[in-house]
Structure formats: C-alpha cells, structure tokens
Structure 1
Amino acid sequence: MSTATLGTEAPGLRFLGTAVGVTALLLVSIGAAITLGPADVSLVNVRDILLNHVAGADIPVRVSKEAIVWHDRLPRALVAAACGAGLGLCGVILQSLLRNPLADPYVLGISSGASTGAVVVAILGVGGTAVGLSAGAFAGAIVSFAVVMLISRLAGGSDDKVILAGIAVTQLFSALTSFVVFAFADSDAARGVLFWLLGSLEGVRWHDAALCGVVVLAGVAFCVFRAHVLDAFAFGDGVASSLGVDVRRARLTFLVVTALLTAVMVSVAGAIGFVGLVLPHAARYLTGPLHVRLIPLTALLGAAFMVWVDAISRVAFAPSPLPIGVGTALIGVPVFIAIMFRRRQAP
C-alpha cells in the first residue's frame, strides 16, 4: 500500500475510531444517568430490566425499580439524547447555510418562535397532544426565522445583521410568550409553562422518546445524504451554485428541516439554548469541517452532552430539579463569548 493511500485513509480511520469512542461514551452515559437519583438503582438492575423488556427474559426484578427505570429514567435519558443530537444538528445546518460560527436555533430566534407557538397551542387550547404542540412550535419557528431573514435583508443582509436580527426577534417572541401566559393562563398553568420554558424533561414518556427519536434520526439521515450540499454552502452561495446546487431550493429545504427539529425538541423539552452553538465547534475540532463526518459526530456528542446535563440537573438540587436550560446556558454562554472574541481577533 502506497504512502498516498495511507494518507487518504488515515482521516477516515481516525473518524471511525472517534465515532466508535463517542458512541460508547453515549451508551455509558445513558446507563450511568439511569442509575442516578434518590432511588437506588444499579447497572445490574438496568441490565436485567432491559433484558426483560427487549429480549423477553424473565429475570426477577422489583416492581418499583422496573417502574423507575423503564417508565421514568430510560425514556427521559433517551429524550435528552435526542434533544442534544437534534439541536446540535440544527447548529451544524445553520452555521453552514449562514457561514456564521455564532448561528444556532436559540441565537437566531427559532427556539423563541417555537416556544411561542407551543405556548399558544397549550394555553389557548388549540391542541394538547405532543403532535399538536409540535405543529404549533413548527409554525412559530417558521414565522420567527422568516422575520429574522426579512429584517436582516432590509438591514443589508450581512452575517452580523442576521445575528443582530436574531437577537431582536428572540426578545420579541419571548415577550409574546410572556404576554400570552400573563393574559390567558391561570396561576397554576403560568407556573408550569414558565418552568417548562426554562427547559424541562419532567414527565416525558415513551411516546415523547419515540417522536423525538424518529424525527432526529430522519434529520440526521437526510443531512448525511445531502452533506455535499452543506459543504458547498460553506464556501458561499456562488460556489454552491457553480457546483450545481439549486441554492434557493436547498436553503429552503434545510431551513424547514431545522424548524421541524427545533419545533419537536421545544414542544417536548422547552427552550434549550446554546447546544446548537457549542457542539458543532467541538465536533469540528475532533473531525474537521467535512459534513459527512461532522453531522453524525455532532449528533453523538450532543446526545452524550445532554444526557449528562440532564442527569446533573436532576440530582444536583434534588428533590427539586434544576431546569435543563439553565445547565446548558451556564456552559454555553462562556463558550459563546469566547467564540465572539476569537472571531473578532481573526485576521
């Protein structure tokens, strides 16, 4: 085998090793997160319960532990993993389409718009199911991002204007959400909504895990299949068009995918910020900018990250869980500031 061949294969082998390692980290993280909590549950208990439900085994397990693992902690860990993977994927898409390292659903107002849509559906009684909330959140996400792009285009259309417009729209839709809660919700509903808006996985069940998992897996598969288009967008619309990409159609398709992913995550877990900002940069550090590798690795890192943030948020202030959005913000804000300073100092 020639030296040139070895040089070509080496990045692929490094990526494979990294992906296997991060996948193992994710599985260990889910197993460890399930054991954390006020009730004593061991990894052996987790193994036995999984074998009973998945493989049809008949291992004796206490009913209380089975309920804790199968009906509470496992679906919660899976929803956390799906939310981390989905929001990380949204960050990859937006940073490529806008060629801006600060782009993510939270900064660009998509999460705020989705929150407004979900709150309107929930409080005004338009629909209370997970699908109904997701539809409302999707509509809000589409509207908010359309407003961001309109404002940025009227202001000149530069990358900085997109970020500034996103910050303004975030505040606008946050205010609209607060108005809906203040004007139409009773005190109990208002407390529940405000806690949910900070990011919460309390009460998630298997149907939530199924909804998030299906949407995220479909989104990852689509983006991996279209990874070459995101690679082209990273060099600008002109280059993408010269490479045969239908720029307008591709941009619209990816933005719809981003809005759908954000809407589902927000409808289930509330507004969780900065995951889509931080995790793509961590994945690029490990595997480089090529999207066919960046997309799955970001999803895996985002999943493991959110599982641990949720686990720590759940046990650090037990019996009252810390809203998961607070945990992601405590990590994301310093990273956001560091990226801003690094971008300013770049030549």
Structure 2
Amino acid sequence: MASPNEAPRLRPLVAVPAAALAILVALACGAAFGETAIPLSTVAKTAANHLFGAGFAVDPIDAGIVWNYRLARAVVAACCGVALALSGVVLQALLRNALADPYVLGISAGASTGAVAVAILGVGGGLVSLSAGAFAGALTAFGTVALLARAAGSGASAVILAGIAGSQLFNALTSFIVARSANAEQARGIMFWLLGNLSGARWPDVTLALPVAVAGTLLCLFQTRALDAFTFGAESAASLGVPVRATQAVLIGTTALMTAVMVSLVGSIGFVGLVIPHGARFLVGSRHGRLVPVSAVTGAVFLIACDIASRMIVPKQVVPIGVVTALIGAPAFALILIRARRMT
C-alpha cells in the first residue's frame, strides 16, 4: 500500500500523459471534423507522413485538407485557448477579481486597435509587425484602464467599470479607423476578423502562436506560488517575500503579449479567459499549481471544440468563432454566477 507521501508523486505521472492525450485527441478531432468528415485513420496517416516520413498511401486531397488547413487551424486554436485561459487566471489573481479577463479589461480591444492601426493606417511604415502593434495597443489599453480605475477609487467594481470604459473607447477607435481609412473590402475583412476568425490560420501562424503559448505557460507555472500569494492581496504577497512590482510587471506583460499575439492572428475572442478559469477552479480548486495547467489544457480543448462547431452548425458556412464562444460562454458564466450565489 502506498504511503501518503507517495500519492502526490504519482499524480504528475498520470496528469501529464492525460493532458497530452486530451490535446492530441482534440487536435485529431479538429483535423477530422468539418464541412466534410475525414476518417481519423487518414488524419493519423497524414500526420505520420509529414512528421516522420512514414509513406502511407493517402488521398492527396484529403491529405491537403488535413495538413494544410485543418490541423494548422486546430493548433492555432489550441494555442489561442491556452493563452486566453491563462491570461484570465493571471488577471483574476493579480486583481483579486473574478470578472477580470483580457476581454473585460480592454486588453483585447486595445490589441485589436493596435493591429488595425498597423494594417490599415500603416503605423510604423512597414517596420512594425501586426503582433507588435497589437502588443503596443494591449499595453496602452491596460495602462488606460489602470489609470481610470485609480482615479475612480479602489475596489473590484472600479476596475470592472474602468475596463468596460476602456473596452468601449478602444472598440470605438477601431471602428473609427476602419470607417475613416479602410475601403469596402478591407472593412468587411476587418469586421469579420474582429469577431474571431481562424479561417486564415496556417503553419506560419503556428510558428508564432506555439512558442508564445508554451513560453507563457512555462512562466505562469514558474509563478504559481506568487499567484497564490496575490490572491490574498499585494501586501500579503510582499510579506511572503514576493517582489510585488517586478512580478506584476512580468505577469501583466506576459498576459498582454499572449493576448496581443493571439488577437493579431485570429481576432478578438471573448469569454475564454473569463469562463475557463472558473470551470477549472470547480474541477481542481484555487491553488495555482493545479489551476494553471488545468486551465491551459481546458482552454486548448474548448477552443478547438468551438472551432469545430463554427464549421458545422451552419451548413456550407463558417460562423466566426467569437460568436460560438459567446453562445457557449455566456450561459456557462450565468450558471457559474448562480452557483456562486447559492454557495454564499
């Protein structure tokens, strides 16, 4: 019989393979399901051919759909889910606010404004990438919200109200840029992109999204003790030896970077950073040593599932993924709020 000290050591041996298996299954489903179903065996053979040079006989059309379109799209969706879910976890801990996430606090709106300014206005003269513009916009939006919250007073309500005001401000700036400077074709493309669009995701996007998602996850895992301390307030964190300002700067910068990169690739997607952390807390509690990895895996699987739904709920038409996440996330968050009220 295993001793009490042995059980915690065995859990990672089960949890890590289980998490990897869940993501692999989700990626396989993302590549198999869509407008036309492709057998999972074909997906596996196609992946083996490209990754290991296996040489399986696969229909060229099916192989092209799986590798060049669906699998790359599923990987980007997974990275986006990881980044947004972890951003929600970090912001909720730092601000001690259950409603904090990149969308509510205006970070996503600011990233959209920065990306549109680069794409439409040509800010930077071609020397600034879309992701860099989105990052600058995200930091500007968060700084604006922080200043508004400080001016409005302390408390969770001040932060949320400042976030709503900041979101509206930067959404208005984005709409103004599009209306003022974009032609009709650009305006249609930007408006569809702002609702969340994975249709253009390809392998070059994976080379940007995957390193950012992995690096962000590793940094959040490294800071789990600090996040636990911040849930009791900045003063408590300082008393426990956490370098408060430096840690806040690193975590907020990481959150802004992850959000900016994902917005620059797929547009603005709401509710992932808000709902997934709450769902993960329901499963594993509030200790960030478990909350961070579970939120990352759940976010990846959730957004892949939403992407599959976006391609299947309307025949011969792709629904923006932001619409799907809102249709699922809004009722889920309402249930979370009702459950929380009953427990108080």
Q: TM-score, normalised by structure 2?
A: 0.94
Equivalence map 1:197-216=2 (5 Å): 197-216=194-213
Corresponding residue to 1:250 among 247, 250, 270: 247
Matches within 5 A, 1:57-68: 57-68=54-65
What CA deviation, in whole Å up to 9, does each residue of 1:263-287 have, x standing for no partner? 0010001000010111111111222
Native 8 Å contact 1:37 1:315 kept in 2: yes
Matches within 5 A, 1:25-40: 25-40=22-37
Q: Which position in structure 1 is the counterpart of 2:287?
A: 290
Q: CA RMSD in A?
A: 2.1
User: Which residue type is aligned with residue 213 of structure 2?
Assistant: V
In structure 2, how many angstroms separate the alpha carbons of the residues matched to 1:111 and 1:222? 20
Structure 1, residues 207-233: CA drift from partner, whole Å, max 9, x if none? 111211100100111111121111111
The alignment status of 1:107 with 2:119, answered yes or no, reads no
CA contact (8 A) 1:85 1:298 kept: yes
Return the match for 1:139 from 136, 139, 142: 136
Report the AA paired with residue 253 of structure 1.
V
- CA shift in 2, pair 1:343/1:150, >3 Å: farther
Question: What corresponds to 2:309 in structure 1?
Answer: 312
For residue 177 of structure 1, what is the aligned residue in structure 2? 174
Counting only pairs closer than 5 Å after superposition, residues 192-341 of structure 1 correspond to structure 2 as 192-340=189-337
1:43 corresponding residue in structure 2: 40
User: Which of 51, 54, 78 is the aligned partner of 1:54?
Assistant: 51
Question: Alignment partner for residue 186 of structure 2, among 184, 189, 192?
Answer: 189
Q: Hey, what's the Cα distance between the residues in 1 that align with 2:280 and 2:14?
A: 14
Q: 1:154 aligns with which of 147, 151, 159?
A: 151
Look up the equivalent residue of 2:246 and give its one-letter code. R
Q: Are residues 20 and 58 of structure 1, via their aligned partners in 2, closer, same or farther at CA, if it must alter by over 3 Å? A: closer
Contact 1:112 1:170 in 2 (8 A): yes
Contact 1:130 1:208 in 2 (8 A): no
Unaligned runs of 5+ in 2: none
> How many angstroms does 1:132 deviate by?
0.9
Q: Secondary structure at the match of 1:318?
A: coil
**AA partner of residue 105 (structure 2):** L
Q: What residue ranges of structure 1 are gaps of 5+ in the alignment?
A: none
Corresponding letter in the other structure for 1:151? L
User: Residue 278 of structure 2 aligns to a residue in which SS?
Assistant: helix
Q: State the SS of the aligned residue for 1:321.
A: coil
Give the direction of change, closer, same or farther, for the CA distance of 1:172–1:346 in structure 2 (3 Å limit): farther
- 1:39: how far off? 3.7
Shift of 1:11: 5.8
**What letter is aligned with 2:259?**
T
CA distance in 2, matches of 1:165, 1:204: 33
Shift of 1:25: 2.5
| Deviation at residue 17 of structure 1 after TM alignment | 4.2
Give the drift of 1:337: 3.5
* C-alpha deviation, 1:42, in angstroms: 1.1
Encode CA deviations 1:214-255: one digit per residue, 9 max, x unaligned: 001001111111211111111111110001111111111110
Aligned partner of 1:121 among 114, 118, 123: 118
Quick check: 36-45 or 159-168, which moved more?
36-45
Q: Deviations over 1:144-176 (max 9, x none)?
A: 011111011111121111011101111111111
**Distance in 2 between residues matched to 1:236 and 1:337, nearest whole Å:** 27
Provide the aligned length of Structure 1 versus Structure 2: 344
After TM superposition, give the deviation of residue 72 of structure 1 in Å.
0.4
Question: What TM-score, normalized by structure 1, do the two folds share?
Answer: 0.93
Measured after TM superposition, the shift of residue 116 of structure 1 is 0.7
CA contact (8 A) 1:91 1:103 kept: yes
Which range moved further: 328-337 or 139-148? 328-337
Which residue is equivalent to 1:164?
A: 161
Change (3 A) 1:307 1:12: farther
Counterpart of 2:80 in structure 1 is: 83
Question: 1:274–1:229: structure 2 CA closer, same or farther, 3 Å change rule?
Answer: same
Q: 1:94 aligns with which of 81, 91, 101?
A: 91
The separation in 2 between residues aligned to 1:41 and 1:290, in whole angstroms, is 40
Larger deviation, residues 286-295 vs 264-273: 286-295
- For 1:258, the aligned partner's letter is T
Alpha-carbon distance in structure 2 between the residues aligned to 1:74 and 1:128: 34
Q: Which moved more, 1:229-238 or 1:330-339?
A: 330-339
- Residue aligned with 1:303, SS: helix
Give the secondary structure class of the aligned counterpart of 2:197: coil
Counterpart AA for 1:166: G
Rounded to whole Å, the distance in 2 between the matches of 1:128 and 1:20 is 46
